[in-house]
Amino acid sequence: MRSTAAVTRFVIRLGCAAVLAMAGISAGGCATAAVATAGTVAGIAASAVSTGADIYRMGKLDSADQARFDDWIAAARAAAVDLDLKVERWSDNGKGEWGCTLADERKSTISVSVERRTETLCRTRIDVGLFGSEPTARLILTRMRVHGDPTHAKTRNAPTTAPSTNRVEPH
């Protein structure tokens, strides 16, 4: 009789062999395609694993950011303006949950929802749809972070205190 550990190792090895076989079949003789296929299969198998602070899966980009709720909502609206996205509708339940639906010129919609977790912590979900564009979701979040960064406006609009180098000193 085999031990549980031996059976587990066998199942893992069998799974790895199946992934490699699928990659080889899908490649049609092209090594690059085999690597890409294996990457896709691995991505599907580990869809909730992420090395960064944001997780994208099944058309939704989830993140957590250090921002005040009202400031983060303003950042979402400013990001929409930056990208020429039209706000079709929005809602605020008054209990720390805000959402809006954005539309592009081709009538594709993107849902943005913000949930207040603490005074300075907000969770954000950007939903581009199951077959939507991950880069679009990430771009919206990036623009939100630019507008939500409290140091961004201060450094951009801060007056310079350095003396002018064009001045001529009297002798």
pLDDT of residue 52: 53
Regarding pTM above 0.85, the answer is no
| Nearest C-alpha neighbor of 78 from the set 153, 132, 135 | 153
- Look at residue 112 and give its three-state secondary structure: strand
Q: Out of 23-32, 118-127, 142-151, 162-171, give the one with best mean pLDDT.
A: 118-127
Partnered with residue 16 across adjacent β-strands are none
What is the predicted pLDDT for the residue at 76?
96
pLDDT of 161 strictly over 60: no
Q: Where are the domains of the chain?
A: 7-45, 55-156
Residue type, 140: I
The fourth-level CATH superfamily of domain 55-156 is Kinase associated domain 1, KA1 (3.30.310.80)
The whole-angstrom separation of Cα 70 and Cα 148 is: 10
Contacting residues for 26 by C-beta, under 8 A, at least 6 apart: 33, 34, 37
| Residues contacting residue 77 through CB under 8 Å, at least 6 positions apart | 87, 100
